[in-house]
Amino acid sequence: MDFRQLRYFVAVGEESSFSRAAQRCFISQSAISHQIAKLEHELGTSLFERSTRVVRLTDAGRRLMPIAAEVLALEARALEVGRPPRDRIRISANMSFAAQSLDAISRVREQHPNLDIEFVIRDFTDRVDAVAAGDADLALIRGDIDRPELEAIELGVEDLVIVTSSQHPLSAFSTVDLRDLAHYPLLLPPRHSQILIHRVVENAFLEVGRRVQLGPAIASDHTATLEVLTNPRAWTVLYAGTVDATPRTGLRIMSEARQRLRVPVCAVVRAGATRSREFDHLMQALAGSIVPSD
């Protein structure tokens, strides 16, 4: 048993998913599954109940979880003892910001080798609350917020790209006009879970004098890209920054012809907080990593 195995175990337990845990730990799913299997073999018991749809802790896994978390906390404290004091910036974001943020972080670390930059994966509410509570120095979000104790600094804009099946009637084109898409159903998660995307798309259709035709809402355990594969006349949208990590087989990725589907990307910080030179350099690097798909 080693710290790495316990770290992977905690990630799978908290995410209830081997794939999400692998993304969080920046390793392959097969690698994390292999290490969990080795840990289970050493302990002589199963830690997870696995099925095609869900991963749950067994009784043994539930007993191990608080112990593993305590061990990892002790590891972090032990490592801190021998380290000289360092400046630290904590970023809270979701996984879709990871690739572009890590490139920016790497460049800032080259400028400031004594700076520690933490990148913590959290959902929207948790990452904004972390900044308000002082547990994070900035949160990356798409859209805006309205909280007096916080400030949203726009870093740039990100396009939504259009995704269809390769069998869609419009799939032969690299760009498409919203007027043409108005004839086909748009597949999205429910409005309450993706308010920003719904609002951006609806407003863009209003600009061209059309109404978006919404298809059935995508269930939480389904993905938009798979849904358009099984509904070849439908379409969906993705953030441009996530396209490289999206499997392309059977899909067509297109741009909106007039760049009407654009979303602001912001860094949420505490209002009035003092910012260091290193923090400003990080903000500049993050802003430079957000490039619209012109």
Residue 25 banded pLDDT, cuts 50, 70, 90: confident
Tokens of 166: 């390769």
Fold type of domain 3-79: Arc Repressor Mutant, subunit A (1.10.10)
Domain ranges (residues) in the chain: 3-79, 87-154+265-288, 156-262
Q: Are the CB atoms for 261 and 176 separated by under 8 Å? A: no
Q: How far apart are CA 80 and CA 67, in angstroms?
A: 20
What percentage of the chain reaches a pLDDT higher than 70? Answer: 96
Distances (CA, A) of 226 to 38, 54, 163, 164, 171: 33, 18, 10, 10, 16
Residue 78's pLDDT is: 80
Residue 242's pLDDT is: 82
Q: Are the CB atoms for 265 and 142 separated by under 8 Å? A: yes
* List of residues 6+ apart from 100 with CB closer than 8 A: 241, 286, 289, 290
pLDDT at 85 over 70: no
Residue 72 banded pLDDT, cuts 50, 70, 90: confident
Task: Share the mean pLDDT of the chain.
Answer: 89
Tokens of 218: 């995508």
Q: Out of 177-181, 219-223, 257-261, which region has the weakest mean confidence (pLDDT)?
A: 219-223
Residue 39's pLDDT is: 92
Q: Where are the alpha helices (DSSP H) in the chain?
A: 3-15, 18-25, 29-43, 59-81, 98-111, 124-133, 178-181, 195-207, 224-230, 277-288
Distances (CA, A) of 111 to 88, 100, 272, 293: 14, 17, 25, 28
Tokens of 7: 């770290």
Residue 292's pLDDT is: 62
Tell me what the mean pLDDT of segment 65-74 comes to: 90
Residue 86's pLDDT is: 59
Residue 82's pLDDT is: 64
Does this model's pTM top 0.85? no
User: What CATH number matches the domain at 87-154+265-288, 3.50.50.60, 3.40.980.10, 1.10.3720.10, 3.40.190.10?
Assistant: 3.40.190.10
Torsion, Cα of 129, 131, 136, 142 (10° steps): 80
Q: How far apart are CA 128 and CA 140, in angstroms?
A: 9
Residue 245's pLDDT is: 76
* List of residues 6+ apart from 27 with CB closer than 8 A: 8
Tell me what the mean pLDDT of segment 26-36 comes to: 88
Residue 255 banded pLDDT, cuts 50, 70, 90: very high
Q: Out of 53-57, 63-67, 289-293, which region has the weakest mean confidence (pLDDT)?
A: 289-293
Tell me what the mean pLDDT of segment 12-26 comes to: 88
Tell me what the mean pLDDT of segment 222-242 comes to: 91
User: What CATH number matches the domain at 156-262, 3.90.850.10, 3.40.190.10, 3.30.1280.10, 1.10.340.30?
Assistant: 3.40.190.10
Domains 87-154+265-288 and 156-262 share a fold: yes
